[in-house]
Structure 1
Amino acid sequence: MTRLLWTLAVLPLAIQNALAATAEQWRGRSIYQIITDRFALAEGADLNACDPGDKTYCGGTWNSIRENLDYIQDAGFTAIWISPVNQNYDGPATDYGDPYHGYWMKDVTKLNDRFGDENDLHALVEEVHKRKMYIMVDIVVNNVMATSTNPDYSDYLFKDAAYYHPYCGIEWGNTQSEQNCWMGDSKVPLPDVDTSNPDVVSVYTRWIKDFVATYSIDGLRIDAAKHVNKDFWPQFCGAAGVFCIGEVFGDAAVEPVAQWQGADALDSVLNFPMYSALVSAFQIPGPNNVSMISSVLEESKAKFTDLTVLGNFLENQDLPRWSNLSVDPQAMYNAMTWTFMSDGIPIVYAGQEQYFHGAGDPYNREPLWPSNYANTTARQLISELNVVRNFLVSNDSDVDWVTAPTVIKTESDVGIAFEKGPVITVLTTIGSPGRNATNIVVQTDYPSETLFFEVTSGGFGDGRCIQWVVGSEGHLEVEYTKGGRPRVFVLGTVLENSHICHEEVSWAIVHEGLKSAAAPIQASLVAGAVGLFAAWMSIQY
Structure 2
Amino acid sequence: MLPLLLSLLAFNLRPAFAATAEQWRSRSIYQIITDRFALEPGAVVNECNLADQTWCGGTWKAITQNLDYIQNAGFTAIWISPVNQNYQGPKTAYGDAYHGYWNADISKLNEHFGTADDLMALSAEVHRRNMYLMVDVVVNNVMSTSLKPDWSTYYFTDPADYHPYCPVDFSNITSEQDCWLGDTTVPLPDLNTESASVVSKYGAWIQDLVQTYSIDGLRIDAAKHVKPNFWPGFAKSAGVFCMGEVFDPLVANVAPFQGASLDSVLNYPLYYALVAAFGLPGPQNMSALTTVLTQGSAYQDTTVLGNFLENQDIPRWHNLSVDPQSHYNAMTFSFMSDGIPIVYYGQEQGFSGNADPFNREALWPSNYTNTTSYQLMTTLNQLRNYMINTTDWATQKTNVLTSDQHGIAFQKGSVITVLTNIGSPAQNLTNTAFQSPWSQGTVTIDVIACRQFVVASSGYLEVEYTKGGVPVVLAEAGSLQKSGLCSTVFTALHDSSTGPAAVAQSSALRSLRASLGMDSLITLLLMTSLGFGSGWLM
Number of the residue aligned with 1:421:
413
Alpha-carbon distance in structure 2 between the residues aligned to 1:470 and 1:368? 44
Number of the residue aligned with 1:231:
229
User: Displacement of 1:444 after TM fit?
Assistant: 1.4
Query: Is the 1:75–1:383 contact (alpha carbons within 8 Å) kept by the matching residues of 2?
Result: yes
2:501 is the counterpart of 1:501: no
Number of the residue aligned with 2:268:
272
Number of the residue aligned with 2:255:
258
User: Displacement of 1:437 after TM fit?
Assistant: 4.5
Alpha-carbon distance in structure 1 between the residues aligned to 2:249 and 2:141? 25
Q: 1:83 aligns with which of 75, 81, 86?
A: 81
Alpha-carbon distance in structure 2 between the residues aligned to 1:495 and 1:510? 17
Q: Which amino acid aligns with 2:475?
A: V
User: Displacement of 1:510 after TM fit?
Assistant: 8.2
2:302 is the counterpart of 1:307: yes
Q: 2:459 aligns with which of 474, 480, 483?
A: 474
Relative to structure 1, the CA distance from residue 479 to residue 509 in structure 2 (aligned partners, 3 Å threshold; closer, same or farther) is farther
Query: Is the 1:30–1:79 contact (alpha carbons within 8 Å) kept by the matching residues of 2?
Result: yes
Alpha-carbon distance in structure 2 between the residues aligned to 1:402 and 1:509? 30
1:109-143, Cα deviation, whole Å (9 max, x unpaired): 11000100100000100111111100100000110
Alpha-carbon distance in structure 1 between the residues aligned to 2:430 and 2:117? 57
**1:190-201, aligned counterparts within 5 Å?**
190-201=188-199
Alpha-carbon distance in structure 1 between the residues aligned to 2:438 and 2:121? 50
Secondary structure of the structure 1 residue equivalent to 2:313: coil
Number of the residue aligned with 1:521:
none
Q: Which amino acid aligns with 1:258?
A: A
Number of the residue aligned with 1:532:
none
Report how many residues are paired: 487
User: Displacement of 1:498 after TM fit?
Assistant: 2.4
User: Displacement of 1:269 after TM fit?
Assistant: 0.2
Number of the residue aligned with 1:119:
117
Sequence identity, in percent?
A: 60
Alpha-carbon distance in structure 2 between the residues aligned to 1:493 and 1:74? 25
User: Displacement of 1:87 after TM fit?
Assistant: 0.5
Q: 2:244 aligns with which of 228, 243, 246?
A: 246
Alpha-carbon distance in structure 1 between the residues aligned to 2:100 and 2:300? 31
Number of the residue aligned with 2:168:
170
User: Displacement of 1:438 after TM fit?
Assistant: 3.0
Query: Is the 2:54–2:98 contact (alpha carbons within 8 Å) kept by the matching residues of 1?
Result: yes
Alpha-carbon distance in structure 2 between the residues aligned to 1:109 and 1:455? 47
Secondary structure of the structure 2 residue equivalent to 1:478: coil
Alpha-carbon distance in structure 2 between the residues aligned to 1:440 and 1:93? 57
Query: Is the 2:276–2:286 contact (alpha carbons within 8 Å) kept by the matching residues of 1?
Result: yes
2:371 is the counterpart of 1:376: yes
Query: Is the 1:469–1:476 contact (alpha carbons within 8 Å) kept by the matching residues of 2?
Result: no
Query: Is the 2:46–2:56 contact (alpha carbons within 8 Å) kept by the matching residues of 1?
Result: no
2:400 is the counterpart of 1:405: no
Q: 2:314 aligns with which of 299, 319, 322?
A: 319
Number of the residue aligned with 1:5:
none
Relative to structure 1, the CA distance from residue 434 to residue 66 in structure 2 (aligned partners, 3 Å threshold; closer, same or farther) is same
Alpha-carbon distance in structure 2 between the residues aligned to 1:74 and 1:434? 34
Alpha-carbon distance in structure 2 between the residues aligned to 1:439 and 1:236? 48
2:15 is the counterpart of 1:22: no
2:351 is the counterpart of 1:336: no
Query: Is the 1:440–1:479 contact (alpha carbons within 8 Å) kept by the matching residues of 2?
Result: no
Query: Is the 1:16–1:215 contact (alpha carbons within 8 Å) kept by the matching residues of 2?
Result: no
Which structure has the bigger radius of gyration? 1
Number of the residue aligned with 1:455:
447
User: Displacement of 1:370 after TM fit?
Assistant: 0.9
Alpha-carbon distance in structure 2 between the residues aligned to 1:107 and 1:335? 39
Q: 2:40 aligns with which of 13, 30, 42?
A: 42
- Which residues of structure 1 form unaligned runs of 5+? 1-12, 457-462, 515-541
Q: Which amino acid aligns with 2:441?
A: E
Question: Over aligned residues, Cα RMSD in angstroms?
Answer: 1.5
Query: Is the 1:312–1:344 contact (alpha carbons within 8 Å) kept by the matching residues of 2?
Result: yes
Alpha-carbon distance in structure 2 between the residues aligned to 1:27 and 1:506? 33
User: Displacement of 1:492 after TM fit?
Assistant: 2.0
Query: Is the 1:15–1:210 contact (alpha carbons within 8 Å) kept by the matching residues of 2?
Result: no
- Which residues of structure 2 form unaligned runs of 5+? 1-10, 500-538
Secondary structure of the structure 1 residue equivalent to 2:135: strand
Secondary structure of the structure 2 residue equivalent to 1:146: coil
Alpha-carbon distance in structure 2 between the residues aligned to 1:86 and 1:453? 47
Number of the residue aligned with 1:354:
349
